[in-house]
Amino acid sequence: MTQPYKITLLPGDGIGPEIMAVAVEVMQVVGKQLDLSFEFQEALLGGAAIEATGEPLPAATVETCKQSDAVLLAAIGDFKYDTLPRHLRPETGLLGIRAALGLFANLRPAKILPQLIDASSLKREVVEGVDIMVVRELTGGIYFGQPRGVFATESGEKRGVNTMAYAESEIDRIGRVAFEAARKRNKKLCSVDKANVLEVSQLWRDRITALSADYPDVELSHMYVDNAAMQLVRNPRQFDTIVTGNLFGDILSDEAAMLTGSIGMLPSASLGVANPGLFEPVHGSAPDIAGQDKANPLAQVLSAAMMLRYGLDQPIAADRIEQAVMKVLDQGDRTGDIMSEGMTMLGCKAMGKALVNALADVT
Ligand code: IPM
Ligand code: MG
């Protein structure tokens, strides 16, 4: 048995703990099969942390994450925190852990699975074969820019301010991640900005264009964000890898995700340089179905696979998990969000069991 990998688990809120339990079980089974061992340590984030400590990102959580080999997050948030001051909201904890670990590169794949093609709200001929990787900048832009706040003006009226700012070095480092990602895929990179209006976007476009000299094998294009939103539903197959800033990436990655029929299927990876990567489903905490054994654990399980592949360099374990997910879908197992006629509807736990059974047959 190899040295155990230290994994920090952040189950968070809502359906988080239920889907995390499935991912942990799946990892343990794969670990046994491949002689890998994992040392799991749970830490608090989001609403769960607010309840226990009064703050959404306790310092102990940052420490635990930093000392691990990888971090697996489920989801955070609940409507009941929406009225708290911003620094006490679950979302602030999520943004805080991204910043504390320097996770500037967020990889969000949106790939249509043939088994789920009819779950998409778009026509089969539009979404068939869609395979997009959104590379979103995650620790800069308008999410973090200064000044920010709500300020009183001289007239007494309040004015809300946020600042979209990118330094050249921030653009370059996400640009390089995106060119490298495109290189491993179909060698097409589309950079999305709003350079027709925003100076920050003009700088973004200029830097990405300059970088492209180092990646002559990657075909670079640029698109304004409004057009990109439209093109994603008009002809999504034109995209391979997309690179964009924090806010545009937040929006476009949800849109790209929905092309696949359910946001409940999609994992993501957030990577930095000095610290472990963080892996999480693209979907949220779904507080409306929490604790009812209805959640789809597949995005969480696929996030664990992404963690094994990108965070721990264990591609064989990742392949096995992905194959098990394909197998349960092939045999017609579905949770409510991806249910269609003739399929078998399973709860979260039963889907976990189906995955464990499927893993036994995967080679
Ligand atoms: C995401 C989420 C977060 C974001 C929220 C929960 C702060 O929407 O991961 O896409 O805006 O980044
Ligand atoms: Mg989002």
Residue 267 lies inside a defined structural domain of this protein: no
Mean pLDDT of the 199-214 span:
98
Instruction: List the beta strands (DSSP E) in the chain.
Output: 5-12, 38-42, 70-75, 105-111, 131-137, 149-152, 158-161, 188-193, 219-224, 241-244, 267-271, 278-281, 333-334, 344-345
Ligand 1 atom 3: residue of nearest CA? 91
Domain match, 42 and 174 both = no
> What is the rounded average pLDDT for all residues in the chain?
96
Please indicate, yes or no, whether residues 20 and 138 belong to a single structural domain of this protein. no
- Neighbouring residues of 98: CB distance < 8 A, sequence distance ≥ 6: 138, 139, 270, 278
**Atom 10 in ligand 1: which residue has the minimum CA distance?**
250
Tell whether the model's pLDDT for residue 70 goes beyond 90: yes
In a domain, 268, yes or no: no
d(CA 290, CA 296): 11
State whether 247 and 310 are in the same domain: no
Q: Based on the fold, state whether residues 115 and 97 are members of the same structural domain.
A: no
What is the pLDDT averaged over residues 38-62?
A: 97
Q: How far is CA 287 from the centre of its chain?
A: 18
Claim to verify: residue 137 and residue 246 sit in the same structural domain? yes
Nearest atom in ligand 1 to 94's CA? 7
CB of 250 closer than 6 angstroms to any ligand 1 atom: yes
Please give the distance, rounded to the nearest whole angstrom, from the Cα atom of residue 4 to the centre of ligand 2: 32
Residue 66 belongs to some domain of the structure = yes
Q: Final residue of a domain: which of 262, 294, 312?
A: 262
Residue of 340 and 71 predicted with greater confidence: 71
Q: Is 94 in the pocket of ligand 1 (CB under 6 A)?
A: yes
Are residue 78 and residue 123 in the same domain, yes or no?
no
Output the CA torsion 59→63→68→71 (10° steps). Answer: 20
Domain boundary among 228, 262, 296: 262
Q: Would you state the pLDDT for residue 209?
A: 98
The pLDDT score that the predictor gives to residue 118 is 86
Ligand 1 nearest-atom number relative to CA 254: 10
* Pair 129, 95 in one domain: no
Ligand that comes closest to the CA of residue 270: 1
Nearest to 166 by CA among 207, 223, 197, 105: 207
- At 106 the three-state DSSP class reads strand
Mean pLDDT in residue range 28-37: 96
pLDDT reported for residue 363: 80
Under 8 Å between Cβ of 346 and 334: yes
What is the SS3 assignment for 328? helix
Q: Which among 237, 262, 287 is the end of a domain?
A: 262
**C-alpha span between 140 and 24 (Å, rounded):** 31
3 state DSSP class of 62: helix
For residue 186, is it within any domain? yes
Ligand lying closest to the C-alpha of residue 251: 2
Q: Distance between CA 151 and CA 5 in Å, rounded?
A: 47
With respect to residue 289, please indicate whether it lies within any of the assigned structural domains: yes
Query: pTM score > 0.75 for this model?
Result: yes
- Chain centre to alpha carbon of residue 357: 27
Q: What is the pLDDT of residues 222-280, one digit of tens each?
A: 999 999 999 999 999 999 999 999 999 999 999 999 899 888 899 999 999 989 999 99
Percent of the chain with pLDDT over 70: 99
Ligand 1 atom with least separation from CA of 280: 9
| pLDDT for residue 2 is more than 70 | no
Beta bridge partners of 7: 40, 70
Question: Looking at the structure, do residues 41 and 142 belong to the same domain, yes or no?
Answer: no
What is the number of domains present in the chain? 2
Residue 206 lies in a domain: yes
Q: Among 87, 92, 94, name the best residue to mutate to test ligand 1's pocket (greatest count of ligand atoms within 8 A of Cβ).
A: 94
- Integer CA distances (angstroms), 98 to 121, 280, 327, in order: 32, 12, 33
Residue pair 355/346 in contact by the 8 Å Cβ criterion: no
Give the residue numbers marked as catalytic.
Answer: 143, 194, 226, 250, 254
Do 199 and 317 lie in one domain? The reply is: no
What's the CATH code of the domain at 48? 3.40.718.10
Confidence at residue 129, expressed as pLDDT on a 0 to 100 scale = 95
The number of CA neighbours under 13 Å toward the Cβ of 58 is 17
> Does residue 341 lie within any of the structural domains?
yes
Copy the structure tokens of residue 42: 């749970």
Q: Are 255 and 138 within one domain? A: yes
pLDDT at 1 over 60: no
| 3-class secondary structure, 219 | strand
User: What range does the domain containing 225 cover?
Assistant: 111-262
pLDDT recorded at residue 170: 98
Nearest residue CA, atom 6 of ligand 1? Answer: 91
- Tell whether omega for the bond before 147 is within 30 degrees of 0, i.e. cis: yes
The ligand that comes nearest to the alpha carbon of residue 14 is: 1
Q: Span 31-49, mean pLDDT?
A: 97
174-194, pLDDT tens digit by residue?
999 999 999 999 999 999 999
**Whether residues 52 and 123 fall in one domain:** no
DSSP 4: P
Q: Nearest 5°: phi and psi at 266?
A: -110, 130
Write out the two tokens for 80: 């009941």
Does one domain contain both 254 and 279? no
Report CA(248)–ligand 1 centroid distance (Å): 11
Is 230 a member of any domain?
yes
